[in-house]
Chains A and B, each alone.
Chain A
């Protein structure tokens, strides 16, 4: 029995909503909702008491050193402003993030929210993350470079509710086209290779120090993991960074490969995202009570899922999210 046939049996006033309310969204919408969930988690974390203390402003100010003056000065000014008006400004920040999350989840406002998330993400990337330290020479993809909020913005663009290229082989290309989506992917992961091979990360103790530093303030079990993995990288920092860079390079070209090989590479990307989130970022420091966001790990995973190749046009049944929802209907606000 089709949906239409099924709904035709409903009493009149109930009929209109049967399909709309009962049908699950397609894979693009599910990915939009995942992005909304990360924004909401970000917002909830922003309401923590730590963010209402001077420590938050000081944390922002700490991203300024090493950046060029034109970049650093606004960060310092912004951090000082937040220290002086921390209750008001932090509440505004948290509420904006909450509005973005709710806005993406609520279909009528999805476009406005995605657009706002791009603008907000780029602003926070500068004023809150010091451009992910990419200009300081100390950026490390293992600890979040080139910046979580930059990935928020990238994903928002790729998840724009337009299906101009509805037959694209993966969701990321449905709004911007295959070439543009692949270019975004290639540039992003090539940048990850570049940052990994910077001199700051090519030292014998580089990876060890980065990972062991994350253990501070974490629960015992997580600190044990951090210290254990850090110990494994002790004096092997160069080898570890080179292996990581090779993996990133493989991922960068993965979307140009045939679908089966691309899927294998995307699985590698998902595994690396999990490794980065747990080991390199300690879940974004959330368990310390001072994490401002979940950091880049979950976003890298979401970014990879956007490129999961399907046989058709990114239908849910052909993606790893098929287990979440069994059917497909057009995404929210799609233009088609």
Chain B
């Protein structure tokens, strides 16, 4: 089942804008030495390019198999992060809460990467037959259908759930302290503190420790206490990306 060409064009534009934003965020965070989630931004930037190409054939950059390999690797990275949080040392309730925060943070990214792999592999014949007027995956107008449509439904439900959850988080995100809900280290620190660990090091250390991309503390004197780069917009991009992906999955039913 194909989609509307004009809608595919609009969504492709949104995805390109998301890519530009993610790249900008990485650069700004590096230049200003402010905290950011570089792994997430990098994956989102690449994902935006891939999705734009899937929506509009003229924006297609790499073969589907290459993209699938890229997102399979990204999915493996997030899966490893989740597994590692399970295997982390420390069996106390505080550590478990901290690990749960990590898992909750990485799960949407794992689902999105998994959905990309599914979309790229489940409809390869449609992708290869697309032309300039139709979408890269036939989403600009040509009919399409995919193998394992039930998996598409499950992924759609998961992504819609994450979009709604992120939207709720967006409204709970204070403008002064937005990074707290975005960064797993901060969430982990809060969870650890909430669970009543005798040591407050978890929370304090998480907040003062440089975040992803600023691992070398000598790089920036602002450390973790500096405000992160445009975190609300980052969450908006994640919401837009998740909603667009849910739409693309529905087209594969």
With A33-B165, A37-B164, A289-B253: A107-B153 Cβ-Cβ less than 8 Å? no
User: Which of B20-28, B71-79, B178-186 lies at the interface?
Assistant: B178-186
B164 and A10 within 8 A (CB): no
Query: Is B124 an interface position by the 8 A CB rule?
Result: no
List A residues 60-85 near B (Cβ within 8 Å): none
Across the A-B interface, the 9 shortest Cβ-Cβ residue pairs = A17-B177, A17-B174, A6-B193, A21-B181, A105-B167, A107-B171, A289-B1, A14-B177, A105-B164
The answer to whether A21 touches B203 (Cβ under 8 A) is no
The verdict on A44 contacting B250 (CB below 8 Å), with A13-B177, A17-B178 known, is yes
- From 159 to 195 in chain B, residues with beta carbon under 8 angstroms from any chain A beta carbon are 160-161, 163-165, 167-174, 176-181, 187, 190-191, 193-195
Whether A40 pairs with B163 at a CB distance below 8 angstroms is yes
B196 at the interface (CB under 8 A from A): yes
Convert B6-39 into 0s and 1s, putting 1 for each residue whose CB lies closer than 8 angstroms to a CB of A.
Answer: 0100000000000000000000000000000000
The CA of A1 and the CA of B1, in the complex, are separated in Å by 54
Known: A20-B174, A101-B164, A106-B168. A47 touches B247 (CB 8 A): yes
Known: A49-B251, A287-B153. 8 other contacts (CB 8 A): A9-B203, A9-B204, A11-B208, A21-B180, A37-B157, A44-B247, A106-B170, A222-B150
Q: Are A18 and B253 in contact (CB under 8 A)?
A: no
Whether the pair A108, B171 counts as a contact (CB closer than 8 A) is yes
Residues on B with C-beta less than 8 A from A6 are 190, 193-194, 203
A49 contacts B4, C-beta separation under 8 Å: yes
29 A-B pairs with C-beta separation under 8 A: A5-B193, A6-B190, A9-B193, A10-B207, A13-B227, A14-B176, A15-B177, A17-B174, A22-B194, A25-B168, A40-B164, A40-B246, A41-B156, A41-B246, A44-B156, A47-B7, A48-B250, A48-B253, A49-B1, A49-B143, A50-B1, A105-B165, A106-B167, A106-B170, A106-B171, A221-B150, A283-B153, A286-B153, A289-B253
Chain A: residues with CB nearer than 8 A to chain B?
A: 1-3, 5-7, 9-11, 13-18, 20-22, 25, 29, 33, 36-37, 40-41, 44-45, 47-50, 52, 87, 98, 101-102, 105-108, 219, 221-222, 283, 286-289, 332
If the complex has contacts A11-B207, A20-B172, A48-B250, are A219 and B194 also in contact, measured as CB distance less than 8 A? no
**In the complex, which of the residues B2, B172, B177, B197 contacts A107, with contact meaning CB atoms closer than 8 Å?**
B172
Q: Are B156 and A16 in contact (CB under 8 A)?
A: no
Selected contact of B176 from candidates A16, A25, A45, A52, CB within 8 Å: A16
Interface residues of B (CB under 8 A from A): 1-4, 7, 143, 145, 149-150, 153, 156-157, 160-161, 163-165, 167-174, 176-181, 187, 190-191, 193-197, 200, 203-204, 207-208, 225, 227, 243, 246-247, 250-251, 253
Q: Which residues of A contact B157 (CB under 8 A)?
A: 37, 41
The answer for the CA separation of A44 and B3 in the assembled complex, in Å, is 11
Contacts of B172 in A (CB 8 A): 20-21, 107
Complex alpha-carbon distance, A287 and B167, angstroms: 27
Residue contact A33 to B250, C-beta cutoff 8 Å? no
Chain B binding surface SS class: helix
Whole-angstrom CA separation of A25 from B164 in the bound complex: 13
Measured between beta carbons, the chain B residues less than 8 angstroms from A47 are 3-4, 7, 247, 250
Q: Could you say which residues of chain A place their CB within 8 Å of the CB of B200?
A: 1, 9
Q: How far is the CA of A83 from the CA of B156 in the complex (A)?
A: 28
Q: Is the CB of A289 within 8 A of B145?
A: yes
Task: Decide yes or no: A21 and B204 within 8 Å by CB, A49-B3, A102-B167 being known contacts.
Answer: no
Residues of A within 8 A of B143 (CB): 49
* Complexed CA–CA distance, A327 and B244 (Å): 31
Q: Which residues of B contact A18 (CB under 8 A)?
A: 177, 180, 190
Contact of A44 among B160, B173, B177, B179 (CB under 8 A): B160
B187's partner among A22, A107, A219 (CB-CB below 8 A) is A22
B residues near A1, Cβ cutoff 8 Å: 193-197, 200
CB distance from A105 to the nearest CB of B (A): 4
A20-B174, A287-B149 known; A40 and B160 CB under 8 Å? yes
Chain B minimum-CB-distance residue to A101: B164
Bound Cα distance A271, B216 (Å):
54
**B240 CB, nearest partner CB in chain A, Å:** 11
Which of A20, A21, A36, A106 neighbours the largest number of chain B CB atoms within 10 Å of its CB? A21
Question: Which residues of A sit under 8 angstroms from B3, Cβ to Cβ?
Answer: 47-49
Given A37-B164, A49-B3, A289-B145, is A21 in contact with B177 using a C-beta cutoff of 8 Å? yes
The answer to whether A14 touches B207 (Cβ under 8 A) is: yes
Can you name the residue of chain B whose Cβ is closest to the Cβ of A15? Answer: B177
CA distance A195 to B143 in the complex (A): 39
CA gap between A52 and B7 in the complex, in Å = 12
B102 to chain A, nearest CB (A): 13
Measured CA separation A2–B165 after assembly (Å):
25
Q: Is B164 touching A36 in the complex (CB atoms < 8 A)?
A: yes
Nearest-CB residue, chain B, relative to A37: B164
A5 to B176 alpha-carbon distance, docked (Å) = 19
Q: Shortest distance in angstroms between A48's beta carbon and chain B's nearest beta carbon?
A: 6
Q: Is the CB of B174 within 8 A of A40?
A: no
Asked if residues B168 and A44 are in contact (CB atoms below 8 Å), the reply is: no
Contacts of A105 in B (CB 8 A): 163-165, 167-168, 171
